[in-house]
Amino acid sequence: MTVARGSRPVRAMAGTLLVLGTGVAGLVSPGRIKPRANPLQYASFARLLPRSAQIHHALERLTFGPRPGDAQAVSRIGVDKWLNLQLHPERVPENPELASRLAPLSSLRMSIRDAYVHYPPPQLIRAVARGQGKLPEDPELRAVVLELARRYEAKAQNTGQAAADPNDDSDLELRTKLEDVLSPEQAAILRNGRPEEKSAVLAAVPAAQRTDFVWSLRPQQRRQLIPLAPVELRRELMLSVAPQNVVASDLSEGKLLRAMYSNHQFEELLVDFWFNHFNVFQGKGADRYLLPTYEREAIRPHVFGKFCDLLLATAESPAMLFYLDNWQSAAPDQTPGAQRRRNKRGLNENYGRELLELHTLGVNGGYTQTDVIEVARCFTGWTIANPRKGGAFEYNDKMHDKGQKVVLGHVIPAGGGMNEGLEVLAMLAHSPVTAHHISLELAQRFVADDPPPSLVDRMARTFIKSGGDLRQIVSTMVHSPEFWSEGAYQTKVKTPFELVVSAIRAADADVESAFPLENELRKLGEPLYGKVEPTGYASGNAEWVSSAALLERMNFALALVQNRVPGVKVNAAAWDRIGRDNAVALAGSLLGQDPSEPTKSAIEKTIRSEEEQRTFTGIHGGPAKVPVLIAGLALGSPEFQKR
């Protein structure tokens, strides 16, 4: 028996088990989690922030960093009302500019099957070009395939061959010369110019000549120019060398654009938190095609919903099933030996282990290796369809372990089929151990690396009382005295993702293309969707603080303010108006607060010393005005690294 996700019996059972928790062992009353007095080491969390610091704290901790004017906007309506709106993003109109910037990223809105068909691997494109497959529907990709097919046909006619050698890619080299499309000066810049000069040339390529331009370049040249090209041209360059990369780049660019431009800032932070909690590595095989749907359908709709719904959505997600190999997990006696060896099937413990260790109970959650195996047995048969057939979740009863299981002391009778997995999810979703673990991780991300027990316990009680209502849990957190305390203020170090986005927002930069920022994040140590391990990226300060990391952050800040980050434009003229005499004011406008004494000292030293100025401009390739250097020093300062 194969059951698709949308079947009514499955949904009815899911609703019963996950929402009501009927008949599931391990569910306890809220009284089991008792408040504790904080040890002396948490004394700073009992001292409230002065009102003058509260707006800055809110914007640094619950957004990706303030833009110019954000603090004044919060001051006008009050922190409480602003908090309420961030907790209810449906009440806040979205930034129309975000929609227009996301519009070209078409794969973000595609189903798994459509993404696979429209942006297939190169070998499938060549098969279509040789007449061995159907032409794609996407007009851009169709044009690429038709161009490839024309060149194969031309070579066959010129050489007298019946068909091109399928192993010979020399027939993909083009006769169009770069000088036929660009002026000699433009062609010279593309060969030897600086990145920002190349970006300007690429932006000037007329739409009518984009295809000729793309095909006038050799594959290696196209790859090198992809990060520098505007959106439309970049997509054509990608389509000509690696169409599947369009899906990956759209996903990363969409994440960056939402973080930079969305009015629903806290929601975007929570999407990032929960994706990281239920991490899936983009670089594993088919997950390149599965991730957009995973984030769009399994993560994003549930960040203010019930934890049980979020847990079920991730458990049924093809991306998670593929990443942790559960799609191949089958009862050993359900798969004949030769077929099992060929398909690498058999019982796979990966999802069972991560479900307990990372997704719910935590590493010290009281489970054993036997529990991991028993959970894995419950999820045998949870698999996925072929991407060409839709890539959707399906339950295959032929792969399921039909025996009795015992999970955390709870007996799951034999013969339950898919409902056995649902029962495990219900047990875990309503466990007080899960409530504490999830509350701790949220507090570690948004309050402090070592949050006070009083706060974590209070959040865990809300978790249990509300049935895992995530909006109520984070509301408990952000309305707590601990959140608004001196102990929480500027104690978290920004991750590279948070740093890059907050610097762009603080500088009020215009992002013409977010794609090159992925390379900046890679240099800083946090490529988007690039964490191989299921743990996700750490949120603790120790992960991101080192001499080398801080130097890279300063280099990024100085490159940004000098307009040396491709695709990002800063209006330095606004800083020129402040001038040398208001250096501290300029730094303060970017920091959202007065700079520290060490930062003031570094700025004053730079203003006084031409040698210091030459040091910075020499490293970063050209002259820079003093106000620009002040801005760079502010964005690279220790206080800007904190949130």
pLDDT digits (tens, 9 = 90+) for 287-311: 999 999 999 999 999 999 999 999 9
Task: State what percent of residues in the chain have pLDDT above 90.
Answer: 62
Asked if pLDDT for residue 159 goes beyond 90, the answer is no
The 3-state DSSP class for residue 518 equals helix
Mean pLDDT, residues 92-102 taken together: 96
Res 491: pLDDT: 96
Residue keyed to tokens 């227009």: 100
Which band of pLDDT confidence, cut at 50, 70 and 90, is reported for residue 180? confident
Mean pLDDT, residues 198-218 taken together: 88
Q: 136: how many CB neighbours lie within 10 A of its CB?
A: 20
Burial class (CB in 10 A: 0-12, 13-18, 19+), 535: middle
Helix or strand (DSSP H, E) at 396 = strand 393-396
Asked if pLDDT for residue 129 goes beyond 80, the answer is no
Contact residues for 177 (Cβ-Cβ < 8 A; gap 6+): 216
Res 227: pLDDT: 87
Res 15: pLDDT: 46
The CA distance from 373 to 141, in Å, is 45
Considering only 142-156, 284-298, 400-414, which range has the smallest mean pLDDT?
Answer: 142-156
Mean pLDDT, residues 426-434 taken together: 98
Asked if pLDDT for residue 67 goes beyond 50, the answer is yes
Write b or e for each residue in 311-348: b if 16 or more Cβ atoms lie within 10 A of its Cβ, otherwise e. bbbbbbbbbbbbbbebbbbbbeebbeeeeeeeeebbbb
Res 169: pLDDT: 44
Asked if pLDDT for residue 133 goes beyond 70, the answer is no
The 3-state DSSP class for residue 593 equals coil
Asked if pLDDT for residue 247 goes beyond 50, the answer is yes
Res 479: pLDDT: 98
The domain limits of the chain are 50-96, 112-247, 434-478, 496-641
Which band of pLDDT confidence, cut at 50, 70 and 90, is reported for residue 575? confident
Residue 620 has, within 13 A of its CA and on its CB side, a CA count of 27
Evaluated on CA atoms 405, 407, 413, 415, the torsion sign reads negative
Residue 27 one-letter amino acid: L
In eight-state DSSP terms, residue 543 is G
Task: State what percent of residues in the chain have pLDDT above 70.
Answer: 80
| C-alpha 241 chain-centroid distance | 24
* Nearest in space to 110 (alpha carbons), one of 292, 281, 360, 238: 292
Mean pLDDT, residues 540-564 taken together: 93
Asked if pLDDT for residue 215 goes beyond 50, the answer is yes
The CA distance from 106 to 94, in Å, is 19
Asked if pLDDT for residue 122 goes beyond 90, the answer is no
Which band of pLDDT confidence, cut at 50, 70 and 90, is reported for residue 17? very low
Asked if pLDDT for residue 544 goes beyond 50, the answer is yes
Res 58: pLDDT: 98
The CA distance from 535 to 580, in Å, is 47
Share the mean pLDDT of the chain: 86
Contact between residue 402 and residue 418 where contact means Cβ atoms under 8 Å apart: no
Pick 125 or 368 by higher pLDDT: 368
Res 117: pLDDT: 78
Mean pLDDT, residues 126-137 taken together: 66
Asked if pLDDT for residue 347 goes beyond 90, the answer is yes
Residue 449 has, within 13 A of its CA and on its CB side, a CA count of 15
Res 33: pLDDT: 54
Asked if pLDDT for residue 63 goes beyond 80, the answer is yes
Evaluated on CA atoms 136, 138, 143, 148, the torsion sign reads negative
C-alpha torsion angle, residues 121, 123, 126, 128 (rounded to 10): -70
The CA distance from 399 to 327, in Å, is 10
The 3-state DSSP class for residue 2 equals strand
Asked if pLDDT for residue 390 goes beyond 60, the answer is yes
Considering only 193-202, 500-509, 553-562, 605-614, which range has the smallest mean pLDDT?
Answer: 605-614
Contact between residue 529 and residue 282 where contact means Cβ atoms under 8 Å apart: yes
Res 136: pLDDT: 66
Res 12: pLDDT: 39
Res 391: pLDDT: 84
Mean pLDDT, residues 545-574 taken together: 92
Which band of pLDDT confidence, cut at 50, 70 and 90, is reported for residue 171? very low
Contact between residue 125 and residue 306 where contact means Cβ atoms under 8 Å apart: no
Q: 594: how many CB neighbours lie within 10 A of its CB?
A: 13
Contact between residue 537 and residue 276 where contact means Cβ atoms under 8 Å apart: yes
DSSP characters for 25-82? Answer: TT---GGGS---PPPGGGGGGGSBPPHHHHHHHHHHHHSS-PPTTHHHHHHHH-HHHH
Which band of pLDDT confidence, cut at 50, 70 and 90, is reported for residue 207? confident
The CA distance from 38 to 336, in Å, is 57
Considering only 65-69, 218-222, 320-324, 435-439, which range has the smallest mean pLDDT?
Answer: 218-222
**Opening angle at CA 470, ends 467 and 472, nearest 5:** 80
Contact between residue 89 and residue 265 where contact means Cβ atoms under 8 Å apart: no
Considering only 306-320, 439-453, 628-642, which range has the smallest mean pLDDT?
Answer: 628-642
Res 11: pLDDT: 43
Residue keyed to tokens 């309506």: 77
Mean pLDDT, residues 158-185 taken together: 59
Res 22: pLDDT: 38
Contact between residue 139 and residue 236 where contact means Cβ atoms under 8 Å apart: no
Asked if pLDDT for residue 617 goes beyond 70, the answer is no
Res 242: pLDDT: 82
Residue 223 one-letter amino acid: R
